[in-house]
Copies of this chain bind each other. A is one copy, B any other.
Amino acid sequence: MTELHLSKRVEGMYNPATRDIMKLLEKPEIISFAGGFPSADGFPVTEIKLLAGDILSHIEAETLQYSPTKGYRALIKFLAGWLQKGKNIHTAEDEIQITSGSQQGLDLACKLFLDEGDQLAVENPTYLSAFQIFNSYQVSYLPIPCDERGMQVDLLETALATHKPKIVYTVATFQNPTGISLNAERREKLLYLADKHDFLIIEDNPYGELRYDGEELPTLKSLDKSGRVIYLGSFSKTIAPGLRVGYLVARPEIADKITIAKQAVDVHTSNLSQQIIYEFCRHGYLEPHLNKICREYRKKRDTMLNALSAYFPAEVKWTHPEGGLFIWAQLPANIDSTELLQKAVSRGVAFVPGNSFFVGNSGYNAMRLNFSNTSPELIDKGINVIGQLIKEMINETILSA
């Protein structure tokens, strides 16, 4: 067996951190705050059984044939209305492309614009799995630090004096991994900079519909006057990830080229998946379902915030997100969260160490905690375990000092 001569892009695509985390999740007995999965308890199994039964018992040859790459027309129509009503995004049908999950939308947008060495500005920290995509296009990162109001757009502005990013990637609302949202003022400023410095914005918004309190923020896309925002939406966090249906919204000349790029990679998204999502929406299930899961997730978030207050020592700080799936905790500078993870796993609890989310060497004393996929009882138990371990580690540090 000879050596494999892999392409240069592969090296960056291999992310051992993600793989190791996925392996941790496979242990059924572990209390895992590591994943980014929505809660399986909240899935609309009953509704989907009803709808799938209806679709399958009336299935026609058309559903089984190849279909247009752009997507199922009825679903696109629904989305145009939904985005207008719920997000103030006024979009025509030729601006919407159905994707096989919003992950695919991100990949296609990068494929369309990013050559090797092109600059891509990202929030630092940012979405872990996006690195796999960005690295596969061999981009050059321009990491922008975040604070409690999201990406520090003033630091981006300073960087723009000497840097020329083609794209700024942002999970502006309930960010993964921090749970924080970019505030309204910075959103306006980011769009202003995009016009001034001629870059595009990819607004990745899988969590925007999972708001538990606070006031709605305008999406960047709804503020976008000059067609600079490529908006990524998903049904994975709101209906079901297993069906793999997301969507991309961009001005027609971009959307059209995204369609061409998608045609090459998978021709179109599963017709049956698209139809089920559409029927779910058409029957008016989406809004009540969102209300239901937001109630559940709010409860879990609150449980986690309470547990953090109860069990974590005063030296630890954490975010108080108004929505989404994640809380971000900042440990004292000398506590290594990877070391903490090893201890935690041996006591049956997992999370993701912070450094995985950073460009460059940072975040070694931070951690991402997912609250959506664990019961309130186990959230309390698991945070207690981690809190004890942090206290022990702080004590050890003091003793050894």
Contact = CB atoms under 8 A, between A and B. Distances in A.
A264 B132 contact: yes
A37 interface: yes
Contacts of A158: none
Contacts of A41: 61
Given A10-B112, A56-B56, A270 B254 contact: no
A48 interface: yes
Interface in A256-279: 257, 260-261, 263-273, 276
A398 interface: no
Q: How often does this chain occur in the complex, in copies?
A: 2
B56 A49 contact: yes
A9 interface: yes
A300 interface: no
A5 B55 contact: no
Given A253-B4, A272-B243, A265 B49 contact: no
A166 interface: yes
Interface string A225-265: 01100000000100111111000000101100100110111
Given A40-B64, A64-B241, A261-B13, A270 B267 contact: no
A107 B266 CA distance: 9
Contacts of A141: none
A285 interface: no
Nearest to A66: B241
Contacts of A10: 111-112, 257, 261
A264 B136 contact: yes
Contacts of A38: 65
A266 B52 contact: no
7 contacts: A1-B227, A10-B111, A52-B55, A103-B266, A104-B266, A132-B263, A242-B270
